[in-house]
Structure 1
C-alpha cells in the first residue's frame, strides 16, 4: 500500500528539545547538591511523566525542598535554552518532500498543546501539519492513543502511515497503533534500545524521505 501520511513525535524528534530539558534538570539537581541519575531520566523520557518524576526524585534526594517554588524557575530556564533552537537537521526537507508528495502530516506528542504549538510556530514548521495531537487531550505514550487519534485526524489506516520517533516509549506507542516506525534517536537517546523500530536512522539526513516511502 502507498504511504499516505507521516506522524512525527515532537520533543527530540522534530527538534532536540530533550537535550535542553535534560540540561535544565541536571542544573536544578546540581544547585541542590545532588546528581540526576541518567537512568531515572531514561525511564520517563518520551512520556508525560517527566516533570512530576523529576520533582519527586528531587524531593526524595533533598528532603524539604519546595518543588512548587521551583516550577516557574525551571520552566523559564528551559525556555531560555530553547530560544535559539531550530528543527533537527533534515526535518524541513522531510516536511517539504511530504507536502510535494501530497502526504498528510501530523504531530503526536505526549507533551501539552501549550508546549508543542508555540514551539512549532517558533520553529517555523507549524504550517506543514494538518493535525497536532497532544498529551493533554489524549493518553500519553507508550499508550497508542495519540497515534490512533492522529490516524483518525488524517483519515488514514495505520498500514498507510509512517511514524517518526526518538525514544523507545514512542516507538512502543507507534507500533501498538500498527504504524511502521522509523526511529531517529538524538544525542540523548542514541544509546537506548530501539529493537522495536522498523528502521533506525542516525539522522534525518542519513536517508531521504523518498527512500522510505512505499508507492
Structure 2
C-alpha cells in the first residue's frame, strides 16, 4: 500500500530548470560563447551545475569572478521565476494526496534555502512533512536523499512513490528501492527514462487516484 509521495523539486514541482538554463545561456553569450546542451544534460539533477559551467567558461577566461557570476545568475533566475507557478497537475496531486491521507516529502539536490524560498513563494511550505536537501545529504544520483526521506517518514521504500524529472533523479529513487514516476520537463524530455516505472508528460495527464490504481 502506498503511504507517501516523495517529490523532486527543481523541474518536477516547479519548472525552475528552464530559468536556470536561460540564466547560464545568457552568461555564456555575454562572454561571446554558447552553452553546449549536451553538457547541461549531464548535470541536471546533481550539484555539479555551477562547477561544470565555470569549467567551460574558464577555457576562455582564466580569471573568472565566480562570486560575481554566481550572484548574477541567481539574481536573473529569481527574476525569471517571479511569476512561475507549480507545473500542471501538481496542486491537484498535493490536494488529492492530503485527502487520501498520503504523506508528502521532498528530496532535492538543491540547497535548503533555495527550496524553502520557492515553497514559501508558492504557498506550499506547509504541504510537506519532510524536506530533504543536497546541502545535508549527498546529491543524486546517489540514493541518500531518498533514503533520508524514507527515514524521516519512517516508511519502507515499498510504501512510497518518487516523482522525478531527470534520469539522475530516477536512478537515485530506484537505487533507494522506490517505484518512480518520471515527469520530464521541456528540457529533460529528450533524455532517456527507460529505467522509470512510468513516464508521464504531465501530472495533469493522469489523476493521482488513477496512478495509484496501477
TM-score if structure 2 supplies the norm length? Answer: 0.97
Correspondence 1:35-184 to 2 at 5 A: 35-184=34-183
How much does 1:104 deviate? 0.9
List per-residue Cα deviations over 1:69-102 (Å, max 9, x = no partner).
2221111111101111100011000000000011
Structure 1 residues 161-215: Cα deviation after superposition (integer angstroms, max 9, x where no partner) = 0000000000000000000000000101000000110000000111001112159
Cα distance in 1 between the residues matched to 2:147 and 2:209? 24
| 3-state DSSP of counterpart to 1:212 | helix
Q: Is the 8 A contact 1:107 1:150 kept in 2?
A: yes
CA distance in 2 between partners of 1:103 and 1:155 (Å): 13
Structure 2 partner of 1:34: 33
Secondary structure in structure 1 of the residue aligned to 2:188: coil
Q: In 2, Cα distance between the equivalents of 1:165 and 1:70?
A: 28
Q: Aligned pairs, how many?
A: 214
CA RMSD, aligned part only?
1.1
Distance across 2 between alignment mates of 1:159 and 1:102: 17
